[in-house]
Amino acid sequence: MAQRLFGTNGVRGIINEDMTSDLALQMGKAIGTVMGGTVAIATDTRLSADMIKMAVSAGIMSVGVSVVDLGILPTPAIQYYVKTHDNVTGGVMITASHNPPQFNGIKCISADGTEASRVEEENIEERYSKEIPCVAWNQVGDMCRMSGAGEEYVDAIVSKVDSESIRKAGLTACLDCANGAAYETAPLLLKKLGVRTITINCNPQGEFPGHPSEPTEENLRDLLSLTKATGSAIGIAHDGDADRCVFITGDGEFVSGDKSLALISKYVLSKKKGLVVTPVSSSSLVEEVVKESGGTINYTAVGSPVVARKMIETGAVFGGEENGGLIFPEQQYCRDGGMTVAKMLECIVAEGPLKDQIAKLPVYYTVKRKIECPNDAKKHVLEYIAEASAGAKIDNTDGTKIIFDDGWILARPSGTEPAFRIYSESKDEKVAEERADKYEKLVREYLNQ
Ligand code: MG
């Protein structure tokens, strides 16, 4: 079997160390051979975006496949483009999402706009590992630049929500794009929805100087205080490639991804009953709210492609992850940051201020820990934890989830980083902390021995 290159979210690495133009060129040749036809390509705002894009594109064209360059776009915008343009056989997004600026990555998109399946990725890995023949000079692919894909994406979102009511509400929002891929589409979307918008970190700067591009409470201090100080209805923050989105209440309170997932689940289920799909790492808050709202919850392994595919299989009404990556079947089967913004605005207009809606949600305490762990030790750490938890009620959907009467703990290796993750949840904050401490200690114990 060929070497595994793709992680949970594409191939990622540090520029000119493990993510090089040589790798990108060979990846391009492999991708072109597998996808054929015409491949769309887009990037986020990283300094290395053009270097990797050019190398991947050169590889694609050298095997006789054409490239449509869409410029800088959120990941869901290129996915929407691939889905809705029949002449396009697949897509490549150059991004490392929320990773620090020294990283970049290559993510493949299937012809239907979904993230490439593991089988498709294995196909590409298989080609990558071999010498790939180039075509004759007169069969080389060409490249055309296309503008307007961002606006097509925005217009599609506007058409799929109650934009009339949102416009009438005359809302004000604060927006933070982490100087990433949504710097143009996110303000445009809010403008088309009639929302007065105050922006910060909406400049496409390759070194992300605003703040690190993972939308955590820590990194969003400026947005928190700005939202409160301006009396805005909501604060909105995207990650680097804007497939995800988190919110701030008008009081400047950070709303975790679990809470927005629960809230939008409730809103979606109030219109249409059905299945909500989410990974085992999501808070029980989501399950409780889904059941209360007359829906059914379906758990999967962690990773948005798995959630999306399960949603297609089951005809689910909604789905998403605890990190703010929500999937709306009426738009497309992938995490969609722009759609999340529009739906949340619709939800506020229909159901009342965000802070009031959050206050009504059941309270769970979730403690998340990330422990550095070499990739080759991950499997052994997992075995060590499973042994230490023998006799307990265990769910093996992904990693090891140990279920207690008053909560659960999930221990799983990260799919994107050399790290191990511990999630601990309980209705009692102290219990959640204590259990997280205990399992973090177990991981460290193994790594130190
Ligand atoms: Mg992302």
CATH of the domain at 125: 3.40.120.10
**Do strands 196-200 and 234-238 pair parallel, antiparallel, or not at all (unpaired)?**
unpaired
pLDDT of residue 440: 95
pLDDT of residue 1: 61
| Domain co-membership, 199 together with 129 | no
Q: What's the 95 CA to ligand 1 centre distance in angstroms?
A: 8
CA-based nearest residue to 133, from 44, 59, 231, 50? 59
Query: Exposure pattern of 87-122 as b/e (b: 16+ CB <10 Å)?
Result: ebbbbbbbbbbbbebbbbbbbbbbbebbbbeeebbb
335, 304 in Cβ contact below 8 A?
A: yes
What is the number of domains present in the chain?
A: 3
| Domain co-membership, 68 together with 182 | no
Instruction: Report CA Rg, the chain.
Output: 22
Q: What's the 138 CA to ligand 1 centre distance in angstroms?
A: 38
Q: What's the 392 CA to ligand 1 centre distance in angstroms?
A: 35
| Domain co-membership, 337 together with 389 | no
Report yes or no on 4 lying in a domain. no
* 129 tagged catalytic: no
Report yes or no on 75 lying in a domain. yes
* The domain boundary residue, chosen from 312, 327, 359: 359
Q: What's the 360 CA to ligand 1 centre distance in angstroms?
A: 29
Reduce the DSSP state of residue 14 to 3 states and report it: strand
219 phi, psi to nearest 5 deg: -80, -10
| Domain co-membership, 404 together with 340 | no
Question: What span, in angstroms and rounded, lies between the C-alpha atoms of 70 and 91?
Answer: 10
| Domain co-membership, 434 together with 379 | yes
Q: What's the 388 CA to ligand 1 centre distance in angstroms?
A: 34
pLDDT of residue 424: 96
What one-character-per-residue DSSP string does 182-249 give? TTTHHHHHHHHTT-EEEEES-S--TT--SS-SS--TGGGHHHHHHHHHTT-SEEEEE-TTSS-EEEEE
Assign residue 419 the CATH number of its domain: 3.30.310.50
* The domain boundary residue, chosen from 92, 112, 147: 147
| Domain co-membership, 352 together with 391 | no
Q: What's the 238 CA to ligand 1 centre distance in angstroms?
A: 8
| Domain co-membership, 396 together with 283 | no
Report yes or no on 5 lying in a domain. no
209, 68 in Cβ contact below 8 A?
A: no
Q: What's the 9 CA to ligand 1 centre distance in angstroms?
A: 9
pLDDT of residue 414: 87
Report yes or no on 279 lying in a domain. yes
Report yes or no on 3 lying in a domain. no
Question: What span, in angstroms and rounded, lies between the C-alpha atoms of 69 and 43?
Answer: 9
pLDDT of residue 5: 86
**Residue 404 neighbours by CB under 8 Å, 6+ apart:** 392, 393, 426, 435
- Out of 62, 97, 282, 424, pick the active-site residue: 97
Per the structure, the complete domain to which residue 211 belongs is given by: 152-359
| Domain co-membership, 169 together with 254 | yes
The angle that helices 257-271 and 284-292 make with each other, rounded to 10 degrees, is 20
Question: What span, in angstroms and rounded, lies between the C-alpha atoms of 414 and 224?
Answer: 28
* The domain boundary residue, chosen from 113, 131, 147: 147
182 phi, psi to nearest 5 deg: -90, 10
pLDDT of residue 449: 83
| Domain co-membership, 291 together with 393 | no
Tens-binned pLDDT, residue by residue, of the chain (449 aa) = 677 888 777 899 999 999 999 999 999 999 999 999 999 999 999 999 999 999 999 999 999 999 999 999 999 999 999 999 999 999 999 999 999 999 999 999 999 999 998 899 999 999 999 999 999 999 999 999 999 999 999 999 999 999 999 999 999 999 999 999 999 999 999 999 999 999 999 999 888 888 998 999 999 999 999 999 999 999 999 999 999 999 999 999 999 999 999 999 999 999 999 999 999 999 999 999 999 999 999 999 998 999 999 999 999 999 999 999 999 999 999 999 999 999 999 999 999 999 999 999 999 999 999 999 998 999 999 999 988 888 889 999 999 999 998 899 999 998 778 899 999 999 999 999 999 999 999 999 999 98
